[in-house]
Amino acid sequence: MKERLKMAAVATAAVAGVAITTVPAQAHTGIVNVSRGDCVYFGTSSHGEADTTKGEGDCKGHAWLRVKWNGAISNWIHDPWKARFTAPGLKGITVSDHKSCETCSYETVKH
Ligand SMILES: [Zn+2]
C-alpha cells in the first residue's frame, strides 16, 4: 500500500512535468520528490524514520539523506538505493533533507 502511494506521487509529478514537487501528506509524515534527469527519487519522513529512495528511471549516483534528530544534525547518509535513518525510540526527528546526488540541492521536510 505504501509503495502504491509513492508510485502514485511519482506519476503525478511526471504528468505535471515538475522537476521538484512537494506532495501534501498526512500529518506527521512528509513526502518529497526530487527528480534528476530521467530519474525520480523520493523521500519520506516521520518523527521516527526518514529515507531517500531511488524510484523509477535511469538513476545514477546515490540517494542522500540527513536528519536533525535529538537536536543534532547528522552527516549525510548515502546509499546506492535507499538511504535511511531510524531514530532510537522511533521519535525525535524534527527535520530531514533529501537529495539525489552529492552536489544536488535538497528538499526539506520539517516536523
Ligand atoms: Zn511531524
Of 55, 53, 43, which Cα lies nearest the Cα of 110? 43
CA of 99 to the centre of ligand 1 (A): 20
What's the number of domains the chain is made of?
A: 1
pLDDT of the residue at 25? 39
Residue 65 lies in domain? 2-110
- Ligand 1: centre distance to CA 111 (Å): 4
Q: What is the pTM of this model?
A: 0.73
The length of the chain is: 111
pLDDT at res. 12: 47
The residue among 16, 50, 10 whose CA lies nearest residue 34 is 10
pLDDT tens over the chain, length 111 residues: 455 555 555 444 444 444 555 544 345 899 999 988 888 899 999 999 999 999 877 788 899 999 999 999 999 999 999 999 999 999 999 999 999 999 999 999 999
| CA–centroid distance, residue 96 to ligand 1 (Å) | 11
Write down the residue that cell numbers 539525489 correspond to.
100
How far apart CA 24 and CA 97 sit, in angstroms, is 16
- For residue 46, the CA-to-ligand 1 centroid distance in Å is 6
For residue 104, report the distance from its CA to the centre of ligand 1, in Å. Answer: 25
Task: Round to whole Å and give the CA distance between 82 and 90.
Answer: 18
